[in-house]
Amino acid sequence: MKANRRTIIKLLSASGAASLFGFKALSGQAQCLTTDDILGPFYLPGAPEIAQFAPDGAPGTTTFITGTVYANDCETPVQNAKVDVWHANDGGGYEDEHYRGVVYTGDNGQYAFQTILPGKYLNGAQFRPRHFHYRVSALSSELTTQIYFEGDTSIPIDPWASSPDAAERIIPLSEGQQGSLHGVADIYLDVEPVINGQKSQGFSPKRPIIEHVIPNPMSTEGKVQVFLPEAVSASLLLYNLHGKAVKTIIQRQQMAGGRQQWSIPNENQHGLRLQPGIYIVQLQVDGRPADSKRLIVV
């Protein structure tokens, strides 16, 4: 396992393969659409709506995946898309209760989850490369596909991962704190670009929202940008996945309407570095939750 992971990292850093493929065809009509892949025999409907798929303490390398679901114009984020993910455990086995979950994209089309790097399993005489299975749906469109990882030596001998169609679904993983891995898997879905009934360009929301949390994943410091349609008393808090507030960014500040930005230092309220993981940035207006975004800390 460890040797395999080191191999992946080494190959990742040595290769510039990702840039060769060009992950986004921004000017194309539908050139960017994410290609499909086989469903496989291990899909189970009704996976839990959770953002951590591997149980606490599960063996394997902690892995954080984030991404954006885009519409078929290749640039407009899709809100509230359902991202259903399942994968093998560290030993290459599928489990009914774990290593699967459903997350939904937020206002900016982003989703995120935490799990472990999927193990390899035999398909006949050959190991399948490590992979996540995805089913992504929004409006009337559904995509079944798989995400692979750069540098995986099983890709060339796997009939699905080695297909030219899969090239843009082989993502790099980079190493974060304490040996965790993180990757970005953007999905381009065949749905028309719509945000709240309007095109996204120049759109000013009618309710207080968190527009961006960048960079995401965050290492040393991030920024959160909010839009307030009118003057309010606003708070910004950082919660862990157990719902515990770990940092108050602003506390009941009287704010003018418009766009506002704050920095998020990588530290909790005791000044200690945040544990790597998924956090929730919550905007409160007049003491009530108004919007939230996931933030991955590496």
Taking the C-alpha atoms of residue 100 and residue 194, their distance in angstroms, rounded to an integer, is 29
Taking the C-alpha atoms of residue 153 and residue 155, their distance in angstroms, rounded to an integer, is 6
**Based on CB atoms, which residue is closest to Fe ion, 105 or 115?**
115
User: To the nearest whole angstrom, how small is the minimum distance from the Cβ of residue 65 to Fe ion?
Assistant: 16
User: To the nearest whole angstrom, how small is the minimum distance from the Cβ of residue 152 to Fe ion?
Assistant: 13
Pairing of β 221-228 and β 258-265: antiparallel
Q: Which stretch binds Fe ion (CB under 5 A): 21-29, 38-46, 107-115, 218-226?
A: 38-46
**Structure tokens given for 147:** 């995400």
**Based on CB atoms, which residue is closest to Fe ion, 23 or 127?**
127
User: To the nearest whole angstrom, how small is the minimum distance from the Cβ of residue 24 to Fe ion?
Assistant: 26
Q: Which stretch binds Fe ion (CB under 5 A): 35-43, 222-230, 273-281, 284-292?
A: 35-43
**Based on CB atoms, which residue is closest to Fe ion, 40 or 277?**
40
**Structure tokens given for 189:** 């879905």
Interaction between residue 92 and Fe ion (CB under 5 A): no
Residues 6+ apart with CB under 8 A from 33: 72, 188, 189, 190
**Based on CB atoms, which residue is closest to Fe ion, 34 or 146?**
146
Burial bucket for residue 214 (CB in 10 Å: 0-12, 13-18, 19+): middle
Burial bucket for residue 152 (CB in 10 Å: 0-12, 13-18, 19+): buried
Select the residue interacting with Fe ion from 40, 193, 215, 277 (CB under 5 A): 40
Q: Which stretch binds Fe ion (CB under 5 A): 40-48, 98-106, 149-157, 218-226?
A: 40-48
**Based on CB atoms, which residue is closest to Fe ion, 94 or 188?**
94
Contacts with Fe ion, residue ranges (CB under 5 A): 40
